[in-house]
Structure 1
Amino acid sequence: MVIKIVVKKILNNNSVISEDINCKEVIVMGKGIGFSKKNGDLIDETKIQKIFVLEDDKKNNQLINLLEDIPEEYFELSQMIIQRASQKLGKDLADSIYLSLTDHLYMSIARYREGLHLKNKLLFEIENFYPDEFRLGLEALNIIESLFSVKMAEDEAAFIAMHIVVSENGDDMEDFYKSTKLVQSILNIVKFFFKVNFNVESFYYQRFLRHLRFFSLRILSGEDQKKLSLKNDLLPLIKDRYVDAYQCTLKIKDFVNNSFNYILDDEEILYLTIHISQVISDIEEEKGKNKF
């Protein structure tokens, strides 16, 4: 985006209001971008990190109030965490995380200083389903302790990881909660059907988990329901070869249908059956090794 590099209003040392090439107001963010500036001054383009176009009056006011009310060090903290996450994950994160994470960190640190520690009900799921993002959350806790002298529990690392995951996928927090709970429900069906505990470090488990993440998003969006049901000629062969895995998949099919009114087609049943058979075979193989 091309910017008319002129300050219209200073929000804080790290953010100012300017205009884009179409004379639409934008918020320009960058470390020290508003320091010692006044209205009408030029913006140092080399300091620009993010640009937010102001289009919705309600959201605009919320954003401006956030930038004016929250101390600058929280934006700097947020930018450090986001930059580290983007580098480690090898992808850009949605712009919304600059606001949502900053607001969350500001409120969370304030709560901790008052002795209020919130438990994260999805701590186990986030740690196991999103290990890379959770590790970034743990790294963020070290940064927070170093800069703010506040030591936080792993629950907070999971909250930070949630913001990163949501920003990665372009979802909102409600979709994240629903997707994570759905994946856990499907894993529980498999776990209780075969009476096993998963090896979360297993290659087959991690591959199954990746499949379930995308599967859950399709269910919640209902996207495949708009298409004709796909028939797969391999399914009869697979269900005869992997009888137990197929029966387990049928239980998942019933659960998804009853809970989300989503009907699995043959192709999805096929893939679920194969994934489940591989995960269970891997567990049984490990059990066999441990007998000797």
Structure 2
Amino acid sequence: MEILKILNNNVIVSHNELNQEIVVMGRGLAFQKKVGGTIDPSNIEKTFVLETHGMSEKLAKLLRDTSEKYLNISAKILEYAQSHLPYKLDEYLYVALTDHISFAISRHNQGIHLKNPMLWEIRKYYKQEFQIALMALEIIEKETAIALGEDEAASIALHLVNSQLSGENMAAAVQITEMVNTILNIVKYHFKMELDEKSINYERFLTHLRFFAIRFARKEKLVETVDEFFSEQIKLKYPEANTCTEKIANYLEHQFNWSLTKDEEIYLTVHIHRVTNRHKMK
């Protein structure tokens, strides 16, 4: 296998049989080797494919100051996460997660334990990602003998959520969580009720809000597909839910300068009616 780039003594960049750029890891893999030389495939311990142009350069910069053992830990976590999530993970997670784990371990060793102010929301709204993040803590502990707390799990979960936003904008993942949390609170206060968080309707509503917020972060707008008549019929049929939607629209307009389309208003109104009406009936 030809060496295209040496990231450090144990990590190199090469090509596989499909001519895809790959990162391969192994103890002493590049020791006394040069670019253009070859390595023995039997010494390879870990391989992963890079589809994004320039990703190997980012990894190279990271590994100048970070041990590749954290890259190996990240690869194990992402392999587990990808097998349990319905969406494709962004490759930038190899960089972001490796850097995060390295910094978290460093802080732990210095006795610095940061609280994640969004732990409660992340655990509640991103249950699948949070469960995967808890498994990530187990992987980290197995590899380093260091037990990190749930605050770190929340941060790892946010990295997974952020992967849907294509990479490096961690602030967007925080903004999405805050937006979802505020919209749910608007619904609760408007109807003066607690929602049944174990119900299918709540899960559907939460999923809708998450993708709704992701579209905002990506600056994506739905193409209008409904006419004025249908929109008015929904308002007449679900007046209370529509009033709640108007409050949400007002919040989004003032807080984010984002105007809802008629489609988005209808979807929100129908979901709000469903999640609140079923609760009333129960």
Alignment pair present for 1:187 and 2:181:
no
Contact 2:10–2:30 (8 Å) recurs in 1:
no
Work out which of the residue numbers 44, 65, 79 in structure 2 matches 1:83.
79
**2:143 maps to which residue?**
147
Preserved contact between residue 74 and residue 102 of structure 1 (Cα < 8 Å): yes
Q: Distance in 1 between matches of 2:54 and 2:238?
A: 54
Summarize the Cα distance change of 1:229–1:168 in structure 2 as closer, same or farther, 3 Å threshold: closer
Q: Which residue pairs with 1:174 in the alignment? A: 171
Cα distance in structure 2, aligned partners of 1:167 and 1:270:
28
Matched, 1:64 2:63: no
User: Is the contact made by 1:120 and 1:158 (CA closer than 8 Å) also made in structure 2?
Assistant: yes
Partners of 1:155 and 1:73 lie apart in 2 by: 22
SS in 2 for 1:48: strand
Q: What does residue 50 of structure 2 align with?
A: 51
CA distance, structure 1, for counterparts of residue 242 and residue 125 of structure 2? 24
Residue correspondence of structure 1 range 240-251 to structure 2 within 5 A: 240-251=236-247
CA distance in 2, matches of 1:150, 1:41: 36
Contact 1:101 1:160 in 2 (8 A): yes
> What secondary structure does 1:233 align onto?
helix
**Per-residue CA distance 1:50-108 (angstroms, 9 max, x = gap):** 3376659xx93x53232233222211111110000011115442111111100100110
Secondary structure of the corresponding residue to residue 229 of structure 2: coil
Aligned to 2:24: 30
Unpaired stretches in structure 2, ≥5 consecutive residues? none
Q: For the residues of structure 1 that align with 2:40 and 2:280, how far apart are their CA atoms?
A: 63
Residues matched between the structures, number: 275
1:217-273 Cα deviation digits (max 9, x unpaired): 333444328x67953432322222222111111111111122222222322211111
Q: Deviations over 1:7-35 (max 9, x none)?
A: 255323542145799xxxx9742231862
Query: Which deviates more, 173-182 or 80-89?
Result: 173-182
CA contact (8 A) 1:27 1:52 kept: yes
Q: Is 1:274 the counterpart of 2:273 in the alignment?
A: no
The letter of the residue matching 2:260 is L
Deviations 1:197-228 (A, max 9, x none): 22222111111111111222333444328x67
1:289 matched to which residue of 2?
A: none
- SS at the partner of 1:50? strand
Q: Which segment drifts farther, 79-88 or 262-271?
A: 262-271
In angstroms, what is the RMSD of aligned CA positions?
Answer: 2.9
1:284 aligns with 2:257: no
Return closer, same or farther for 1:268/1:90 CA change in 2, 3 Å cut-off: closer
- In structure 1, what is the Cα distance between the partners aligned to 2:233 and 2:52? 54
User: Are the aligned partners of 2:176 and 2:214 in contact in 1 as well (CA < 8 Å)?
Assistant: yes
How many percent of aligned residue pairs carry the same amino acid?
A: 36
Amino acid aligned to 2:212: F
Identify if the C-alpha distance between structure 1 residues 218 and 232 changes in structure 2 by more than 3 Å, giving closer, same or farther: farther
| Alignment counterpart, residue 153 of structure 2, candidates 153, 157, 161 | 157
- For residues 199 and 10 of structure 2, what CA distance do their matches in structure 1 show? 44
For the structure 1 residues 15 and 259, does the alpha-carbon distance in structure 2 shift closer, same or farther, using more than 3 Å as the test? Answer: same
- TM-score normalised according to structure 1 size: 0.83
Q: Is the partner of 1:147 in helix, strand or coil?
A: helix
